[in-house]
């Protein structure tokens, strides 16, 4: 019997519009503030432009367009003098507010001597910059939430790293809803998965269990990892806070994982991640730092796995989904709010949406795969 | 451009469900007994008695709405496709 030909037999094509020409409105983390705090200018390429970040004598971190409005010199190659950045070309002095404060060889500063100053925020050891193509200041309600454990003695400091990715940053945001890739790309095993989008926040609730087929057999004495609980929210387009707890036999390890990025250009972004771990019983002193460093290592590996996929995948605006996939379209609808003017944000982009995934079938299939991998491993080690 | 999730066209549609506690109506969909999609609007969010007042605070689910959706599925007013 030959199948009946219908619309559903036509070949599915991958659709992708041009990359967006604007960069998302929102707070973007540029990295650890201490990295920028040495009194020297730092060059950052972000939002398709060159920026200079410097800490003035007053202790404030400032972010300006890198190119001097006088003759185009690059301020990132200049020198911090007092509270100002001095251009290496003619020593024009620019303040953190974007105004030229002084031209040592001139009696007065010309009118119009103002460059782009980016609203910056130094919070919890991290430097944030506000991007808005409309040039408006950041509304209070999209403020980056404080991270409770950051800077506290009963938590470790940040273990922070960054990677440059040659892809549009939508790829990393898609991970919010992509449960299945956590099994296939990252070798984890989700058992519960839910998304909630509301306002400028997109959250992923995910619980998982350890995978015996990818873990080295546990050494005697070290506690067995039972599973993990993760609640991860994007606050705006680029900054995700993940309250991540690993459950071990007899103890929990609490951590906060940051997954954030800023666009360099339309087809490149800087992906950053950082982790802090709570010190506690069974995890005092250096043990917590070792755990945090180890976690940072795992996260690095995880992102390298993502990057390998991203570098060869196609951008796809019309993903073909099965019912056990997450809400990719609704996530992108939420994400769209950051790419339109503030007064063009529609209710559908920000109204609360919930999606709880049915993990019954995935868990069955993955259990079987883990079993089969273990059996294969046993057979191979038996024949050696 | 915002596109439509084709699963809503090819599979079960979104259907209204009224919360038995606050009477707000949301759009709900079940692709199976264990899967649920809920589309709220501003009115429903305003009416919800469990939703935290503070914006941005995490809120995984409204228990009363979950119970209401379950009841709608059991009584058949919310369609659940056969496995």
d(Cα A53, Cα A37) in Å, to the nearest integer?
Answer: 9
Q: Looking at beta carbons, which residues of chain B come within 8 Å of A349?
A: 2
Domain end position, chosen among A79, A110, A142: A142
Identify all chain A residues contacting B22, using CB atoms and an 8 Å cutoff.
none
A95 shares a domain with A202: no
Q: For position A288, what pLDDT does the model report? A: 86
pLDDT tens track for A341-353: 999 999 999 999 9
What's the mean per-residue pLDDT of chain A? 93
Residue A21 located in a structural domain: no
The mean pLDDT of B66-83, rounded to a whole number, is: 94
Task: Give the integer Cα–Cα distance in Å for A146 and A286.
Answer: 25
pLDDT digits (tens, 9 = 90+) for A163-194: 999 999 999 999 999 999 999 999 999 999 99
pLDDT tens for B9-61 read: 999 999 999 999 999 999 999 999 999 999 999 999 999 999 987 777 899 99
In this structure, are A166 and A287 located in the same domain? yes
Residue A148 lies in a domain: no
In-domain check, residue A314: yes
Of A318, A351, A359, nearest to B42 by CB-CB distance is A351
Q: Do B56 and A201 touch (CB under 8 A)?
A: yes
In contact, A77 and A66? CB cutoff 8 Å: no
Q: For residue B41, which residues of chain A lie inside 8 Å, CB to CB?
A: 347, 351
Instruction: Write the residue in A17, A323, A332 that is nearest to B31 by C-beta.
Output: A323
Residues of chain A above pLDDT 70, percent: 96
Give the β-pairing of A239-248 and A225-235.
antiparallel
Q: How far is A266 from chain B (nearest CA, A)?
A: 17
Q: Please tell me whether residues A197 and A296 are part of one structural domain.
A: yes
Query: In terms of domains, do A318 and A183 share one?
Result: yes
Please indicate, yes or no, if residue A39 is contained in any of the structural domains: yes
Co-location of A184 and A283 in the same domain: yes
Q: Are residues A335 and A365 in the same domain?
A: yes
Residues A175 and A136 in one domain: no
For residues A201 and A335, what is the distance between their CA atoms, to the nearest angstrom?
Answer: 10
Same domain, residue pair A119 and A186: no
For residue A356, give the CATH number of its domain.
3.90.380.10
Look up residue A79 and give its two tokens: 């020198």
Query: What residues of chain A have any CB closer than 8 angstroms to a CB in chain B?
Result: 17, 141, 145, 194, 196, 198-201, 203, 205, 231, 233, 235, 317-318, 320-321, 323, 327-330, 332-333, 336, 347-349, 351-360
User: Of A98, A117, A142, which residue is a domain's last?
Assistant: A142
- Please check whether residue A41 lies inside any domain of the structure: yes
* pLDDT averages per 10-residue partition of chain A, 384 residues: 61 95 97 96 98 97 98 98 98 98 97 96 97 97 95 94 96 98 95 97 97 72 83 98 92 94 97 93 84 86 92 96 98 98 97 98 98 93 68
Q: What is the average per-residue pLDDT within B58-67?
A: 96
Domain holding A71, by residue range, is 26-142
Looking at the structure, do residues A208 and A280 belong to the same domain, yes or no? yes
Per this entry, what is the length of chain B?
A: 83
pLDDT at position A306 is: 93
Residues A99 and A201 both lie in one domain: no
- Residue A146's φ and ψ, nearest 5 degrees, are -70, 145
- Among A198, A353, A358, the residue with its CB nearest the CB of B34 is A358
CA–CA min distance B77, chain A (Å): 20
- Yes or no, beta carbons of A323 and B2 under 8 Å apart: no
The CATH number of the domain where A109 resides is what? 2.102.10.10
- Whether residue A117 is found in the same domain as residue A68: yes
Q: How far apart are CA A153 and CA A151, in angstroms?
A: 7
């Amino acid at each position: 019997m030959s199948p009946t030909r219908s619309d559903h037999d036509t070949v599915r094509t991958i659709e992708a519009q041009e990359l967006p020409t604007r960069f998302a409105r929102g707070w973007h983390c540029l990295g650890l503030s201490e990295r920028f705090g040495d009194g020297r200018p730092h060059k950052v390429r972000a939002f398709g432009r060159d920026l200079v970040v410097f800490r003035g004598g007053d202790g404030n971190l400032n972010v300006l367009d890198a190119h001097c409005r006088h003759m185009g010199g690059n301020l990132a190659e200049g020198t911090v003098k007092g509270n100002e950045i001095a251009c290496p070309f003619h020593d024009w002095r620019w303040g953190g507010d974007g105004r030229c404060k002084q031209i040592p060889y001139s009696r007065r500063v010309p009118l119009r001597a103002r460059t782009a100053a980016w609203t910056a925020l130094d919070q919890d050891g991290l430097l944030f910059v506000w991007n808005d193509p409309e040039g408006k200041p950041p509304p209070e309600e999209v403020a980056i939430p404080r991270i409770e454990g950051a800077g506290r003695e009963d938590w470790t400091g940040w273990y922070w790293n960054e990677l440059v990715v040659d892809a549009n940053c939508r790829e990393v945001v898609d991970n919010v809803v992509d449960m299945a890739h956590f099994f296939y790309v990252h070798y984890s095993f989700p058992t519960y998965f839910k998304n909630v989008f509301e306002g400028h926040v997109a959250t992923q609730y995910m619980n998982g269990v350890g995978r015996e087929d990818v873990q080295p057999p546990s050494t005697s004495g070290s506690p067995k990892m039972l599973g993990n609980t993760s609640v991860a929210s994007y606050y705006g387009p680029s900054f995700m806070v993940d309250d991540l707890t690993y459950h071990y036999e007899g103890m929990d390890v609490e951590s906060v994982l940051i997954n954030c990025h800023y666009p360099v250009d339309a087809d490149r972004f800087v992906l950053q991640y950082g982790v802090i771990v709570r010190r506690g019983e069974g995890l005092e002193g250096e043990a917590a730092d070792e755990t945090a460093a180890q976690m940072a290592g795992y996260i690095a590996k995880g992102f390298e796995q993502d990057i390998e996929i991203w570098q060869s995948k196609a951008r796809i605006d019309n993903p073909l989904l099965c019912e056990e996939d997450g809400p990719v379209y609704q996530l992108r609808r939420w994400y769209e709010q950051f790419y339109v003017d503030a007064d063009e944000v529609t209710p559908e982009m920000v109204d609360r949406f919930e999606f709880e995934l049915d993990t019954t079938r995935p868990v069955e299939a993955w259990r079987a795969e883990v079993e089969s991998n273990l059996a294969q491993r046993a057979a191979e080690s038996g024949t050696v | 451009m915002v596109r439509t999730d084709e699963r809503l066209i090819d599979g079960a549609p979104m259907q209204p469900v009224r919360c038995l506690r606050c009477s707000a109506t949301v759009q709900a969909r079940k692709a199976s007994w264990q899967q649920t999609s809920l589309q709220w609007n501003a009115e429903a969010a305003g009416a919800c008695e469990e939703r935290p007042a503070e914006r941005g605070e995490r809120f995984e689910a409204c228990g009363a709405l979950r119970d209401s959706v379950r009841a709608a599925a059991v009584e058949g007013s919310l369609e659940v496709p056969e496995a």
